[in-house]
Amino acid sequence: MYYTRAGDQGKTCILGKGRIGKDELEIEALGSFDELNSALGVTEAFCTENATKQTLTNLQNDLHTLCAEISGGSQPKITARHITALEEAIKRVEAQIGEQRSFLLPGGTKQAALMHLTRAIARRAERNLVKLSRKTRFRKEPLIYANRLSTLLYVLARLQNKESGEKEKSPNYRYQ
């Protein structure tokens, strides 16, 4: 059975913490990263390049690790190796797209637009993790990972546009 009715009163269960309100910061953070994981799945489904598809799948697996840590489990945990992998991926993509000199409008190809949307969701998830870290003792690695994740998604969106020959647009500050 897929439902238990146990959450009908606005509470849910987290391993090691018992039943807590669905409006608690832990649940908000977990929900944000769950939404991000789903958005990564949608983005991956529209992606045509195998290396990027594999990167997105790796990120989805990392988010399960991050959620396990948010839930208070003893293992697995986000480590320096996770952060290093993100930083190396960012550097590889930066070498392909070059430096950015101004703000850009999110969009371009379908793949890039989805990557930008996923990046925005990643930023919200990061904000929710920061809120949780102010309430609960939290290791620095998950916070660093969440910060690097949105950067990786941003440069991947730019790479998608570049590889497709899509010209990126700068904002037009109308009425100035």
Mean pLDDT over 89-98 rounds to 95
In-domain check, residue 101: yes
Q: What is the pLDDT of residue 79?
A: 96
- Asked if the structure places residue 5 within a domain, the reply is no
- What are residue 21's DSSP bridge partners? 11
| Structural domain includes residue 169 | no
Asked whether 112 and 163 are in contact (CB, 8 A), the reply is no
Whether residue 173 is contained in a domain is answered as no
Q: Please, which pLDDT band fits residue 16 given cuts at 50, 70 and 90?
A: low
User: How many structural domains comprise the chain?
Assistant: 1
| Residue 116 placed within a domain | yes
Q: Any residues with CB less than 8 A from the CB of 80 and at least 6 apart, and which? A: 141
pLDDT at 8 over 80: no
Q: How confident is the model at residue 135 (pLDDT cuts 50, 70, 90)?
A: very high
Q: Which of 96-105, 153-162, 165-174 has maximum average pLDDT?
A: 153-162
At 159, which CATH number? 1.20.1200.10
Which domain covers residue 37, as residue numbers? Answer: 17-164
Comparison of pLDDT for 99 and 68, the residue scoring more: 68
